[in-house]
């Protein structure tokens, strides 16, 4: 490391709300401790732990056997914006207090925006993008996404058998509030007969026609894959967003349930909603995600040792590159037109 912390120990802090992944932490610890002789500490529950001073040392034993585990070994939390601002103001003191040479936050849009604020406030920060939604700009993929797509695809595979046996229409709602990547790729991989994304308003009449054509051709079932953030085109369907509860969730009936009801009404056939929900999040990551996470961790440590701060790790083709946090957090990466065209024309 370039700088030595006050207490004469090389230190590096890992923080990570919401959903810091074990395989990145493992990789950071291996590379930093074995490769550079650094000391690594982890803040419990991410930035919250940073402010509250709850942390613990992460050595090789702490990360042993965690590669096939999902989730986080540190916990995560949502931090109110006010407290984050407080952290920014006191960031230099914080860094001095813990003897931090670099802070490595791991997370999605919220975490990386916070990372950018801390970086702007003068803290040495290297970010790692982690979100199942794949909606971070400047990187081909975020990790967690491949695993979520795998879970959703397996569910669609299962639903297709049961839809076929029972001659039914199934509407499967997958995650993706602002970007439809999971719906796009799981719908394509699972061979869904219709895909609805937040990026392009759908017309329930088109979906109903597609189903009717299938039934007319003797294919007496259909599976439609819909992102939770998808919405009907203006005036095509009686639709309003459900009330939002105190925990930020739309209660009871999301778009999947509503679309199933609408299709039932139009088709006079049973249409069942299936809401995959949190099942897409946890569990053992795919090999793809573990490789990506491991490489991200490795490159984050190398960037830290080069003093390449204010950036995050990014996948570009087959390479890992460092891109400015500012560039990565300016806007969400949404599904482009040509990908939607591809998806719509193979089914």
Residues forming the active site: 133
Q: 176 a known binding residue?
A: yes
Residue 265 sits in the site that holds a copy of itself (CB under 8 A): no
User: The tokens of 286 are what?
Assistant: 């795919």
Q: 228 a known binding residue?
A: yes
Q: Find the part of the chain contacting a copy of itself (CB under 8 A) among 4-12, 86-94, 286-294, 323-331.
A: 286-294
Q: CA–CA separation, 225 vs 252, rounded Å?
A: 19
Q: Which residues, numbered 294-333, are part of the site for a copy of itself (CB under 8 A)?
A: 294-295, 297-298, 316-318
Q: 54 a known binding residue?
A: no
Which residues, at least 6 apart from 337, have a Cβ–Cβ distance to it below 8 Å? none
Residue 282 sits in the site that holds a copy of itself (CB under 8 A): yes
Residue nearer to a copy of itself on the CB measure, 91 or 139: 139
User: The tokens of 168 are what?
Assistant: 């039914």
Count Cα atoms within 13 angstroms, Cβ side, for 196. Answer: 27
Maximum C-alpha span of the chain: 76
Q: 234 a known binding residue?
A: no
What's the count of helices (H) and strands (E) in the chain, helices before strands? 13, 11
Residue 241 sits in the site that holds a copy of itself (CB under 8 A): no
**Other beta carbons less than 10 A from residue 141's beta carbon:** 17
Local structure of 163: helix, strand or coil: helix
User: Contacts with a copy of itself: how many residues (CB under 8 A)?
Assistant: 88
Q: 282 a known binding residue?
A: no
Residue nearer to a copy of itself on the CB measure, 216 or 247: 247
Residue 9 sits in the site that holds a copy of itself (CB under 8 A): no
**Other beta carbons less than 10 A from residue 272's beta carbon:** 18
Residue 166 sits in the site that holds a copy of itself (CB under 8 A): yes
Shortest separation between residue 120's beta carbon and a copy of itself, angstroms: 28
Find out whether 58 and 29 touch, Cβ atoms under 8 Å. Answer: yes
Residue nearer to a copy of itself on the CB measure, 266 or 295: 295
Residue 274 sits in the site that holds a copy of itself (CB under 8 A): yes
Q: 44 a known binding residue?
A: no
Which residues, at least 6 apart from 120, have a Cβ–Cβ distance to it below 8 Å? 88
Binding string, 19-58, against a copy of itself, x = CB under 8 A? xx-----xx--xx--xx-----------------------
Q: Which residues, numbered 196-235, are part of the site for a copy of itself (CB under 8 A)?
A: 219-220
Which residue of 6, 52, 56, 64 would you call a contact of a copy of itself, by CB under 8 A? 64
Find out whether 176 and 144 touch, Cβ atoms under 8 Å. Answer: no
Nearest Cα residue to 101 out of 52, 39, 55: 39
| Residue at token pair 């999971």 | 182
User: The tokens of 16 are what?
Assistant: 């990570």
Binding string, 71-110, against a copy of itself, x = CB under 8 A? xx--xxx---------------------------------
Q: 279 a known binding residue?
A: yes
Which residue of 121, 210, 257, 334 would you call a contact of a copy of itself, by CB under 8 A? 257
Shortest separation between residue 211's beta carbon and a copy of itself, angstroms: 16
User: The tokens of 164 are what?
Assistant: 């076929």
User: The tokens of 259 are what?
Assistant: 């679309």
Residue 151 sits in the site that holds a copy of itself (CB under 8 A): yes
Residue 155 sits in the site that holds a copy of itself (CB under 8 A): yes
Q: Which helix (H) or strand (E) holds 210?
A: helix 204-216
Q: CA–CA separation, 3 vs 120, rounded Å?
A: 19
Q: 56 a known binding residue?
A: no
Q: Which residues, numbered 131-150, are part of the site for a copy of itself (CB under 8 A)?
A: 140-141, 146, 149-150
């Amino acid at each position: 490391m370039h700088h030595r912390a006050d207490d004469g120990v090389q230190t590096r802090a890992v923080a990570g709300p919401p959903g810091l992944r074990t395989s990145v932490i493992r990789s950071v610890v291996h590379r930093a401790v074995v490769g550079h002789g650094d000391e690594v500490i982890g803040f419990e529950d991410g930035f919250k732990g940073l402010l509250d001073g709850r942390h613990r040392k992460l050595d090789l034993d702490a990360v042993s056997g965690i590669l096939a585990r999902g989730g986080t070994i540190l916990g995560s939390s949502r931090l109110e914006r006010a407290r984050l601002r407080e952290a920014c103001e006191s960031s230099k003191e914080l860094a001095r207090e813990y003897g931090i040479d670099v802070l490595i936050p791991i997370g999605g849009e919220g975490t990386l925006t916070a990372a950018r604020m801390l970086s702007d406030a003068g803290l040495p920060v290297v970010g790692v993008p982690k979100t199942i939604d794949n909606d971070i700009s400047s990187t081909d993929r975020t990790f967690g996404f491949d695993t979520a797509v795998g879970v959703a695809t397996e569910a669609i595979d299962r639903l297709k058998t049961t839809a076929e046996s029972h001659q039914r229409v199934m509407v499967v709602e997958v995650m993706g509030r602002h970007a439809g990547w999971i719906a796009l790729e799981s719908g394509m991989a699972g061979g869904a007969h219709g895909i609805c994304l937040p990026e392009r308003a759908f017309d329930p009449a088109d979906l109903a026609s597609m189903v009717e054509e299938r039934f007319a051709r003797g294919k007496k079932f259909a599976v439609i894959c819909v992102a939770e953030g998808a919405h009907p085109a203006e005036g095509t369907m009686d639709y309003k967003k459900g009330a939002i509860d105190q925990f930020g969730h739309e209660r009871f009936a999301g778009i999947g349930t509503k679309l199933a009801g609408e299709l039932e009404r139009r088709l006079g056939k049973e249409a069942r909603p299936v809401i995959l929900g949190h099942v897409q999040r946890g569990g053992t990551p795919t090999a793809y995600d573990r490789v990506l996470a491991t490489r991200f961790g490795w490159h984050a440590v190398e960037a830290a040792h080069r003093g390449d701060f204010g950036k995050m790790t990014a996948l570009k083709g087959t390479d890992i590159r460092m891109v400015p946090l500012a560039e990565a957090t300016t806007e969400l990466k949404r599904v482009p037109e040509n990908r939607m065209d591809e998806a719509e024309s193979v089914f």
